[in-house]
Structure 1
């Protein structure tokens, strides 16, 4: 999905970019399948990592994590987060800031767990916390029924989105805010 060649409405420009971001949900080859996410570490400094985009809806993204991970602890303590996605072939950058809600052991997590395949569920079967050393034979595996307690769906609701399209004829950049219903508000073109 290409962005408009000469966009005149910043909201349309941003919505086109966010539809492009949606390709990362189902297309493993999409440059938006794995995106950057920064949370606030206990030190107060940002901590960045890559996450797999699992769902994209108006004004939000979803990814999965392990409730025992540092990422989950950081987001539970301070839900502020920033997302960065970049498609080199399109020369398109999407940045977002917002708050993350964590879902473990609720209807949101259960529905997502049911949609995971066996390899997706396998990730949560380790008895060791994320980042800990594990045995080469992976003998520390949990039963699948026990693994679901570690599975967490993280939902990031956007407050602000910034889209930058790098173009040889002049870069195009727009920023917007989102309302509670996930609709673009206060959209404006800004200097690149």
Structure 2
């Protein structure tokens, strides 16, 4: 294009429109990510914080502690939700008595309701509907781990067969193999 302009016009004055120059600056601005003190961008902070939220704070590494401090300062709602989740974990792991568990679970349920977090609606409804079955855990602190294990074996067996066409035969095979 430059050769054509030089050949056709003997004394041209090239002008680059300011819009294009400003557009380049705006693109550059968007490519400069904000970094927190630990070097994370906002996206990295959120992605890398995911696993620390599954642990109690006393098991965090120094890096995770620093990341959590930044995360909770930026997103106080996540800090509140983390606290609620951790308190449920403590109820389920530390409480031994079924009656005390009922009281603590009721208080926790009220805290969830008061928090206004829509993401907790499912667990809130589950506790409301099935609290007696949930509390049965505290009788012997029994779990359904054996049922989950057997379910995994059934799924793997079904996958090997590439599905089930004949249910009676499938049940016969399962009873012979796993009975």
Q: TM-score, normalised by structure 2?
A: 0.24
Greater Rg over alpha carbons, structure: 2
Q: TM-score, normalised by structure 1?
A: 0.23
Greater relative CO, 1 or 2 (CA 8 Å, sep 6+) = 1
